[in-house]
């Protein structure tokens, strides 16, 4: 009955074939143009309509399975490659876009609106890209369009944070391009399928994906950019950039064992930071790395169950992490504060936000009957099936830890804990609606998992709700909570303190700028000294150069430093490019 209904829908949809040939990215870019030039009211309608229009388009795509190829010079670029994996992510990004647009409905800021449309468009372009060059273009557009969310905050530190974010993302794109060209030199093909780690090309592309996915030591941008973005911007960014990277990893590096170990590191180290972090949106950023770790691990294991689990977890994560970012955004919106040390007791006047936040918190902690439970269990089961015993134990540790910092800490310190005396009202209705949609999805997927699981890329047999899994998970979570209660009652739980914690971003935000600032005057003095011996004319040039150097790098903020870093990478890339040309 149900399948006959589906078939008839698809037959009906097939007659709109030309509609499926327009890349959704182009549609979103057109929407961005309309939003840019029209009134706010028209812009809002267009933004709201876009996800629905695109989902209709996806239905037609399922019916006709289009493959759009474009010839550029002697390369053929696959603009639209439609399969189960790309369709699922496209659907996901449209759901995220709808939730994000509703959440931001009350915001009158053209910069954010245009950014949002371009950003979602770029994400759709990236997941439908069938070759690495097209992927590269949308990869960079993702970076360019999303930086608007950080700059739109319009705080003194936004400019710097945005610039650093942009530079990291652009570097990721350049590495991708370098890898793609290298691969093209080797194989003569740019098609984006399984890449693997057989040659330098694979490594370059893996690092490019790894930057966007927040691999350990490359994760600094996640914890810096998300807390720096606007309330709505963080919701969009949390949903998309890293998930595009997960998609790309699933496509290109499925079954690479290295990813299992990278993934498990990503699940474990951020939870320590999350426990002591004060900025609650940064806690969520750390928790995002932790969740990405589960996905990366699943992709690394590479079995049907594992990859399905990773993809399903990406889907669920967008919804529940979105819900958590939305609730913390609502707190920031209504109180102007986001540090745990300044919040507390908000449940009195924000009960709806509190309940919705708790739904998100329970989902991310993988409580039975909520969305995170099944996808996380799939990954953990697959890891154990492949006999990664230590990895399994580490994932259990991370599961307990995620409940501790995201499941309990976020709602507890924002809405309960000590009374901060703040009495903010509930956020605007549209914000509550957006959060409710996400909460309903969390519960809906949890109770009726088939909704999502029939769309997964591989066929599989998996029974999510058996007594063993449910009991084990409940025991694990309940006793994690017990630990929290016990530590709190003893007064041993680390209090929220106004502070920052050093992480990798310290290297380019503090260490290197400071040491160059300390070193360069001496270097330039040597320049000046030597200039003394080379006649008056040369001397002037020397001084000029030395001073220029001091001005440029000596007082370098991290932005300038990263600009120099970027230039170096660019030069490396050009060198590599020249090598490839020479070799062929």
Partner 1 sequence: MSKPTVPAAVQRLLYAFYGLAACLVFADVLIHRHVSHPAESWFAFYPLFGFVACVVLVFAATAMRHIVMRPQDYYDELADVEKTRDEVPLDSGSISPHDEDRS
Answer whether 132's CB lies under 8 Å from 77's CB: no
Within 8 A by CB and 6+ apart from 356, the residues are 323, 326, 327, 432, 435, 436, 438, 439
Q: Which two tokens stand for residue 136?
A: 């590269």
Q: Is 392 in the site for partner 1 (CB under 8 A)?
A: yes
Quote the least distance from Cβ 113 to partner 1, whole Å: 28
Quote the least distance from Cβ 145 to partner 1, whole Å: 24
Q: Restricting to residues 96-115, which ones interact with partner 1 according to CB under 8 A?
A: none
Interface with partner 1 (CB under 8 A), residue from 14, 22, 62, 517: 517
Interface with partner 1 (CB under 8 A), residue from 111, 396, 455, 566: 396
| Spatial CA neighbour of 372 closest among 345, 341, 402 | 402
Supply the DSSP symbol for 428.
P
Stretch near partner 1 under the rule CB under 8 A, chosen from 93-101, 182-190, 236-244, 477-485: 477-485
Q: Which two tokens stand for residue 94?
A: 């449209």
Number of residues near partner 1 (by CB under 8 A): 73
Q: Is 493 in the site for partner 1 (CB under 8 A)?
A: yes
Distance of CA 461 to the CA centre of its chain: 29
Can you tell me whether residue 76 is helix, strand or coil? strand
Q: Restricting to residues 410-469, which ones interact with partner 1 according to CB under 8 A?
A: 467-468
Please list the residues that pair with 69 across neighbouring strands.
78
Q: Which is nearer to partner 1, 34 or 268 (CB)?
A: 268
Stretch near partner 1 under the rule CB under 8 A, chosen from 305-313, 327-335, 420-428, 483-491: 483-491
Q: Is 217 in the site for partner 1 (CB under 8 A)?
A: no
Q: Which is nearer to partner 1, 239 or 406 (CB)?
A: 406
Q: Which is nearer to partner 1, 55 or 384 (CB)?
A: 384
Q: Is 539 in the site for partner 1 (CB under 8 A)?
A: yes
Residue 68, φ and ψ in degrees, nearest 5: -100, 120
Q: Is 545 in the site for partner 1 (CB under 8 A)?
A: no
Q: What is the rounded distance in angstroms from the CA atom of residue 83 to the CA atom of residue 41?
A: 36
Interface with partner 1 (CB under 8 A), residue from 4, 71, 489, 583: 489
Q: Which is nearer to partner 1, 12 or 478 (CB)?
A: 478
Answer whether 115's CB lies under 8 Å from 240's CB: no
Quote the least distance from Cβ 499 to partner 1, whole Å: 5
Q: What is the rounded distance in angstroms from the CA atom of residue 60 to the CA atom of residue 20?
A: 6
Within 8 A by CB and 6+ apart from 358, the residues are 411
Stretch near partner 1 under the rule CB under 8 A, chosen from 142-150, 243-251, 496-504, 576-584: 496-504
Q: Restricting to residues 341-370, which ones interact with partner 1 according to CB under 8 A?
A: none
Residue 67, φ and ψ in degrees, nearest 5: -140, 105
Interface with partner 1 (CB under 8 A), residue from 37, 525, 552, 579: 525
| Spatial CA neighbour of 503 closest among 220, 109, 133 | 220
Can you tell me whether residue 515 is helix, strand or coil? helix
Supply the DSSP symbol for 456.
S
Q: What is the rounded distance in angstroms from the CA atom of residue 59 to the CA atom of residue 375?
A: 25
Quote the least distance from Cβ 474 to partner 1, whole Å: 6
Q: Is 530 in the site for partner 1 (CB under 8 A)?
A: no
Interface with partner 1 (CB under 8 A), residue from 484, 496, 561, 562: 484
Interface with partner 1 (CB under 8 A), residue from 476, 504, 523, 564: 476
Q: Which two tokens stand for residue 529?
A: 């000294």
Quote the least distance from Cβ 457 to partner 1, whole Å: 24
Q: What is the rounded distance in angstroms from the CA atom of residue 547 to the CA atom of residue 559?
A: 19
Within 8 A by CB and 6+ apart from 263, the residues are 292, 293, 294, 295, 296, 297, 298, 299, 300
Quote the least distance from Cβ 388 to partner 1, whole Å: 11
Q: What is the rounded distance in angstroms from the CA atom of residue 444 to the CA atom of residue 254?
A: 29
Quote the least distance from Cβ 487 to partner 1, whole Å: 6
Quote the least distance from Cβ 553 to partner 1, whole Å: 10
Q: Restricting to residues 153-182, which ones interact with partner 1 according to CB under 8 A?
A: 156-157, 160
Interface with partner 1 (CB under 8 A), residue from 502, 578, 579, 581: 502
Q: What is the rounded distance in angstroms from the CA atom of residue 134 to the CA atom of residue 144?
A: 16
Q: Which is nearer to partner 1, 53 or 483 (CB)?
A: 483
Stretch near partner 1 under the rule CB under 8 A, chosen from 141-149, 203-211, 452-460, 553-561: 553-561
Interface characters, 251-280, with partner 1 (x: CB under 8 A): --------------------xxx-xx----
Render 88-125 in DSSP notation, one character per residue: HHHHHHHHHHHHHHHHTTT---HHHHHHHHHHHHHHHH
Q: Which is nearer to partner 1, 12 or 272 (CB)?
A: 272
């Amino acid at each position: 009955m149900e399948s006959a209904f589906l078939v008839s829908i698809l037959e009906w949809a097939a007659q709109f074939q030309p509609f499926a040939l327009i890349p959704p990215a182009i549609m979103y870019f057109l929407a961005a143009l309309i939003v840019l030039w029209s009134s706010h009211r028209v812009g809002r309608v267009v933004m709201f309509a876009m996800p629905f229009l695109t989902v209709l388009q996806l239905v037609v795509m399922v019916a006709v399975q289009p493959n759009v190829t474009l010839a550029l010079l002697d390369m053929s670029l696959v603009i639209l490659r439609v399969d189960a994996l790309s369709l699922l992510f496209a659907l996901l990004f449209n759901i995220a876009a709808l939730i994000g647009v509703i959440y931001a409905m009350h915001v009158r800021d053209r910069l954010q609106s245009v950014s949002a449309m371009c950003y979602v468009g770029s994400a759709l372009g990236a997941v439908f890209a069938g070759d690495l060059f097209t992927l590269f273009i949308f990869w960079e557009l993702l970076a360019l369009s999303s930086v608007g969310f950080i700059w739109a905050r319009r705080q003194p530190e936004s400019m710097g944070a945005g610039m650093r974010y942009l530079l990291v993302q652009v570097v990721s794109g350049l590495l991708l391009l370098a890898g793609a060209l290298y691969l093209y030199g080797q194989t003569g093909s740019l098609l984006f399928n399984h890449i693997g780690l057989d040659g330098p090309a694979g490594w370059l592309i893996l690092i490019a994906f790894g930057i966007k996915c927040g691999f350990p030591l490359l994760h600094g941008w996640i914890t810096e950019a998300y807390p720096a973005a606007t309330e709505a911007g963080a919701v969009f960014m949390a949903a998309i950039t890293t998930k595009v990277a997960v998609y790309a990893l699933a496509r290109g590096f499925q079954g690479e064992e290295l990813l299992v170990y990278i993934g498990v590191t990503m699940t474990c180290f951020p939870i320590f930071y999350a426990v002591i972090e004060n900025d609650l949106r940064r806690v969520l950023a750390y928790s995002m790395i932790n969740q990405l770790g589960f996905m990366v691990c699943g992709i690394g294991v590479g079995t049907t169950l594992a990859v399905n689990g990773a993809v399903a977890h990406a889907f669920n994560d967008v919804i529940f992490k979105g819900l958590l970012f939305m609730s913390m955004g609502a707190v920031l919106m209504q109180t102007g504060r986001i540090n745990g040390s300044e919040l507390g007791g908000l449940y009195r006047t924000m009960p709806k936000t509190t309940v919705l936040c708790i739904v998100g918190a329970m989902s991310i902690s993988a409580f039975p009957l909520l969305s995170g439970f099944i996808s996380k269990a799939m990954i953990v089961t697959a890891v154990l099936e492949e006999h990664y015993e230590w990895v399994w134990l580490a994932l259990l540790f991370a599961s307990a830890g995620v409940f501790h910092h995201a499941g309990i800490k976020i709602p507890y310190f924002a809405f309960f804990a000590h009374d901060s005396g703040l009495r903010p009202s509930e956020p605007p209705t549209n914000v509550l609606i957006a959060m409710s949609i996400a909460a309903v999805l969390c519960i809906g997927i949890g109770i009726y998992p088939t909704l999502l699981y029939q769309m997964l890329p591989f066929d599989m047999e998996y029974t999510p709700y058996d007594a063993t899994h449910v009991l084990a998970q409940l025991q694990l979570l309940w006793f994690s909570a017990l630990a929290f209660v016990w530590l709190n009652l003893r007064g041993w739980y680390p209090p929220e303190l106004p502070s920052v914690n050093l992480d990798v971003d310290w290297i380019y935000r503090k260490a290197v700028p400071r040491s160059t600032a300390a070193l360069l005057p001496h270097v330039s003095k040597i320049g000046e000294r030597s200039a003394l011996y080379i006649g008056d004319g040369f001397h002037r040039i020397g001084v000029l150069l030395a001073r220029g150097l001091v001005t440029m790098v000596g007082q370098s903020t991290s932005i300038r430093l990263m600009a120099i870093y970027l230039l170096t990478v660019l030069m490396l890339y050009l060198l590599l490019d020249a090598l490839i040309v020479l070799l062929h």
